[in-house]
Amino acid sequence: MPETLSARLRAVTQQLTEAGVPDPSVDAELLLGHVLGAGRGAVQAAALRGDEISESDAAELDALVLRRAAREPLQHLTGTAAFRHLELAVGPGVFVPRPETETVVQFAIDALLENAAPAPIAVDLGTGSGAIALAMATEVPHARVFAVERSPEAHAWAARNVAGVENLTLIHGDLATAFDDLRGTVDVVISNPPYVPDDAIPRDPEVRLHDPAQALYGGADGLDVVRVISGRARELLHDGGLLVLEHGELQGEAIRSILSGDGWRAASTHQDLTRRDRATTALRD
């Protein structure tokens, strides 16, 4: 007997709930939408209409649900991750962009929009999937955006995402030495560096088992890369240029101390939408 979409969604939601998956009903709709080639709203409408699911689509959905129940990231299963207005290609080997980073990049975008230069310059150190760099380049189209990624696997995903964006330059290299030709000319430097302390293993299996370790762990206190970025950003930025750093909710004070010690001024920590400390900004003196 044919099965309705609504019945299959209920069954999938229950299966994901039992596996401990956060937001199981959302994931169920997104996985079904991926199978059907439809958006979440279209899936909801089809379920309300009483539409049925074919045997082949049901089999494809079942295979994806088993992987999601094993806590493989949803974005690895669909091959995409939403970020602001973007849809990014992601998969094994690259850090999946998080919603909280959407608020962090706003500091950089605002600074670029308020800059009086005809073509303000922004640098994204450790771009991963290219999410931050691509948001800046597309939302501030008169800006010149430069991004660097060290991991070959992550660089490949970023290259795929930024292809054809004329005001964005992506290189494969080390953030500590990249863009020497831009020294003293950059308006904004931004980074979402690895900031998890080495002994602080993430609780979520999606993060612990699937995000690349070099995108997560930042030394004994999680701030080794932040220290490198502080020095490199001072070399790249002109006087008055803005540094934007994403970090963990308990790291704001330590990062402000690092930046103040390196000669930055006006170091300030900002909360995300959940009122957790999420970003610290500072101005080059």
Domains and CATH numbers, the chain: 3-70 (1.10.8.10), 92-283 (3.40.50.150)
**Mean pLDDT across 23-45:** 96
Residue 1 confidence (pLDDT): 62
Per residue in 63-74, pLDDT (tens digit) is: 999 999 999 999
> Phi/psi at 204 (nearest 5 deg)?
-70, 125
- Based on its alpha-carbon atoms, the radius of gyration of the chain, rounded to whole angstroms, reads 21
pLDDT, tens digit (0-9, with 9 covering 90-100), for 152-198: 999 999 999 999 999 999 999 999 999 999 999 999 999 999 999 99
77 Cβ neighbours under 8 A, 6+ residues apart: 31, 34, 64, 67, 68
Phi then psi for residue 80, to 5 deg, are -140, 155
C-alpha dihedral sign at 277, 278, 283, 285: positive
Please check the confidence at residue 203 and state whether its pLDDT lies above 90. no
pLDDT of residue 2: 80
Mean pLDDT, rounded, for 245-259: 97
| pLDDT band at 229; cut points 50, 70, 90 | very high
pTM of the predicted protein model: 0.92
Check residue 221 and give its pLDDT.
96
* Residue type at 189 in one-letter notation: V
Q: Which residue has the higher pLDDT, 143 or 207?
A: 143
pLDDT over 90 (residue 201): no
Confidence of residue 42 (pLDDT cuts 50, 70, 90): very high
pLDDT of residue 109: 98
Residues 203-215, mean pLDDT to the nearest whole number: 90
pLDDT at 256 (0 to 100): 98
pLDDT, tens digit (0-9, with 9 covering 90-100), for 72-119: 999 999 999 999 999 999 999 999 999 999 999 999 999 999 999 999
E-assigned strands of the chain? Answer: 3-4, 52-53, 80-83, 86-89, 121-125, 144-149, 168-172, 186-191, 237-246, 265-271, 277-283
Q: Provide the pLDDT for residue 209.
A: 87
The average confidence (pLDDT) of the chain is: 96
Q: Is the pLDDT of residue 7 over 80?
A: yes
